[in-house]
Amino acid sequence: MGPRWKGKGAEVKALADPISEIVRQFQSSLISSNSRGMLSGTNVFLKADAELTDLLNRACFGRPRVTSEKNEQWFQLSMEEAFYLQYSLKCITVVDYNDTELNNNELWKYMTSRKDKFPILVKAFSHLRSKNWVVRSGSQYGVDFVAYRHHPALVHSEYAVLVLSAQDGSANGRLRVWSDFHCTLRLCGSVAKTLLILDIEQQQSCAASPSCVDDYIVEERTITRWSPEQGREKK
Amino acid sequence: MGPRWKGKGAEVKALADPISEIVRQFQSSLISSNSRGMLSGTNVFLKADAELTDLLNRACFGRPRVTSEKNEQWFQLSMEEAFYLQYSLKCITVVDYNDTELNNNELWKYMTSRKDKFPILVKAFSHLRSKNWVVRSGSQYGVDFVAYRHHPALVHSEYAVLVLSAQDGSANGRLRVWSDFHCTLRLCGSVAKTLLILDIEQQQSCAASPSCVDDYIVEERTITRWSPEQGREKK
């Protein structure tokens, strides 16, 4: 199943404006503006001027949030997005409610304490983002992420992504029984997405610091229904 | 969500021809013909003459199977169907490949040894069938069963049924994590079915004989997405 572009000209538009270049611009803009993200619960909030708002929208990070303040746009980042921007792209600094900066280790400690699956989710997120996939929450489809070839305005998401790990029992709550497989594949089929399983092999059982995530190995598998006709001899 | 009848007149036709009456006729026909089902793997095969074929089709038990023998129609019953017909409706006798009759205890022993979830699945199947729901495999939708108000020719299936049990860990592989919930509900929504959870409370940890299933308690729960709008005050 290839990408499903939204309307005529979408593919040409996407090719002329690669995500890698948009993210590069977005990254430099954040660095030059010394951007700080405010940690709040399991989200990080980022204030954006007009230029940054445009870049956040184009790079597809965060969700714009309406506030009572005029002339100010806030974006709500997920933990995976915020961590990727601080740790991998090194373009924001996350601060807590005291306005104290959190270094990578502190941020890691906080986020892993809030979400058991965080190490493998952030690995999967970073893995796809570094390959210039646009990655969004997949909760609508009962998966961890959906992945787009370009901006969601131009193309439908191509992959429904489930992140699994053999080592981490608690994270591995999906696809243990056939009925779950059938349910997931049927749903993916009906929304024209391919099920992508990212199997994360953790080298160490504990994930004490973010650096150990760099050693995780990602195995990519797509899963589709097998149709008996495909196995038949051609006439 | 109410029943979705297939075309005009389907509801009137269904009301005039209740499933309870069809099953009663089917049951007497099987009893008077001394029907024997042949056990083979995880299925039971039943030979049917023209009258029985008609009743099997109308009562929606088994699937017709094409064989090389002329003028003979075979029906393939699932283990749940065969057990229900022998144990609950007392209208067939299952025999093994030696043509030896299996009594209820022997049949129970065989079927539970082939499928871990058999005790709770057959309880759920019998529970719905005894209420005159037509029950079919739900594997297409990643659930255990689908339930129809009447014959599938007249109405779409109304419920997607998952059978769970708190006691039996191995049976309980579904709906443990939110993403599985989201996936299942999204799929049920897109095929216009209501998710029905049958939670089977097993009184004893072991299911040594079929009679202990009679003591199982069935809790019925339907699960739907909650829409925030429903909680808002009416204007």
pLDDT band at B168 (very low <50, low <70, confident <90, very high): low
Q: For residue B235, is pLDDT > 70?
A: no
pLDDT in the model for residue B169: 54
pLDDT band at B234 (very low <50, low <70, confident <90, very high): low
d(CA A81, CA A137): 11
d(CA A198, CA A208): 22
Centroid of chain to Cα B95: 21
d(CA B80, CA B130): 13
Q: What percent of chain A is predicted at pLDDT more than 90?
A: 77
Q: Where are the alpha helices (DSSP H) in A33-78?
A: 50-59
Q: For residue B170, is pLDDT > 60?
A: no
pLDDT digits (tens, 9 = 90+) for B17-39: 999 999 999 999 999 999 999 99
- Has B150 been annotated as catalytic? no
Residue B48, both tokens: 């049917």
- Using DSSP, state whether B195 is helix, strand or coil: strand
- Provide the ipTM: 0.85
pLDDT digits (tens, 9 = 90+) for A6-19: 999 999 999 999 99
pLDDT in the model for residue A168: 56
* Contact: B179, A140; criterion CB under 8 Å: no
Closest Cα in chain B to A176: B173
Q: Are A117 and A198 in contact (CB under 8 A)?
A: no
* Contact: B183, A143; criterion CB under 8 Å: yes
Of B155, B76, B171, nearest in space to B122 by CA: B171
The reply to whether B172 touches chain A by the CB within 8 Å rule is no
Q: For residue B212, is pLDDT > 70?
A: yes
Q: For residue A211, is pLDDT > 70?
A: yes
pLDDT in the model for residue A202: 85
pLDDT in the model for residue A66: 83
The reply to whether A180 touches chain B by the CB within 8 Å rule is yes
- Using DSSP, state whether B192 is helix, strand or coil: coil
As a whole number, the mean pLDDT across chain B is 91
pLDDT digits (tens, 9 = 90+) for A133-152: 999 999 999 999 999 999 99
Catalytic residue among B84, B148, B159, B216: B148
Residues of chain B with CATH 3.40.1170.20: 16-113
Helix axis angle, B104-114 to B118-130, nearest 10°:
120
**Architecture of the domain made up of B16-113:** 3-Layer(aba) Sandwich (3.40)
Query: In the predicted model, what is the mean pLDDT of residues B213-233?
Result: 84
- Has A193 been annotated as catalytic? yes
**Residue of B140, B179, B185 with shortest CB distance to A144:** B179
Q: For residue A156, is pLDDT > 70?
A: yes
d(CA A227, CA B8): 35
The reply to whether A181 touches chain B by the CB within 8 Å rule is yes
pLDDT in the model for residue B172: 62
- In chain B the first and final C-alpha atoms are separated, in Å, by 25
* Contact: A174, B174; criterion CB under 8 Å: no
Q: How many angstroms away from the CA of B201 is the closest CA of chain A?
A: 21
d(CA A207, CA A119): 7
b/e map of A157-184 (b: 16 or more CB within 10 Å)? bbbbbbbbbeebeebbbbbebebbbbbb
CA dihedral B122, B127, B131, B132 (to 10 degrees): -10
* Contact: B183, A179; criterion CB under 8 Å: no
Q: How many angstroms away from the CA of B123 is the closest CA of chain A?
A: 18
* Contact: B173, A174; criterion CB under 8 Å: no
Contacts of B187 in chain A (CB under 8 A): 142, 183, 186-187, 190
pLDDT in the model for residue A217: 93
Helix axis angle, B19-32 to B50-59, nearest 10°:
150
Q: How many angstroms away from the CA of A235 is the closest CA of chain B?
A: 24
Q: Tokens 């075979």, residue?
A: B74
pLDDT in the model for residue A114: 95
Q: Are A198 and A161 in contact (CB under 8 A)?
A: yes
Residues of chain A with CATH 3.40.1170.20: 8-114
Residue B125, both tokens: 């199947």
B116-224 maps to which CATH number? Answer: 3.40.1350.10
Q: What is the 8-class DSSP label of residue A87?
A: I
Q: For residue A220, is pLDDT > 60?
A: yes
The reply to whether B142 touches chain A by the CB within 8 Å rule is yes
Give the domain A8-114 fold: MutS, DNA mismatch repair protein, domain I (3.40.1170)
Of A183, A146, A150, A151, nearest in space to A163 by CA: A146
Centroid of chain to Cα A100: 26
Q: With 0-12 CB in 10 A as exposed, 13-18 as middle and 19+ as buried, what is B133?
A: buried
Phi, psi of A174 (to 5 degrees): -105, 155
Interface of A with B in 69-98 (CB under 8 A): none
pLDDT band at B205 (very low <50, low <70, confident <90, very high): low
d(CA A67, CA A177): 44
CA dihedral B221, B222, B228, B232 (to 10 degrees): -80
pLDDT digits (tens, 9 = 90+) for B53-84: 999 999 999 999 988 777 789 999 999 999 99
Residues of chain A with CATH 3.40.1350.10: 116-223
Q: Where are the alpha helices (DSSP H) in B151-229?
A: 178-190
Centroid of chain to Cα B52: 20
Q: For residue A127, is pLDDT > 90?
A: yes
d(CA B193, CA B82): 26
pLDDT in the model for residue A70: 75
Q: Are B140 and A186 in contact (CB under 8 A)?
A: yes
**Architecture of the domain made up of A116-223:** 3-Layer(aba) Sandwich (3.40)
The reply to whether A179 touches chain B by the CB within 8 Å rule is yes
Flag the least confident range among A208-212, B61-65, B138-142.
A208-212
Q: How far is CA B18 from CA A204, A214, B14, B150, in A?
A: 62, 64, 6, 8
Q: How many angstroms away from the CA of A196 is the closest CA of chain B?
A: 15
Q: What is the 8-class DSSP label of residue A137?
A: E
Q: Tokens 């973010």, residue?
A: A210
Flag the least confident range among A207-221, B6-20, B74-88, B204-218.
B204-218
Contacts of B182 in chain A (CB under 8 A): 139-142
- Using DSSP, state whether A148 is helix, strand or coil: strand
Residue B24, both tokens: 């009663």
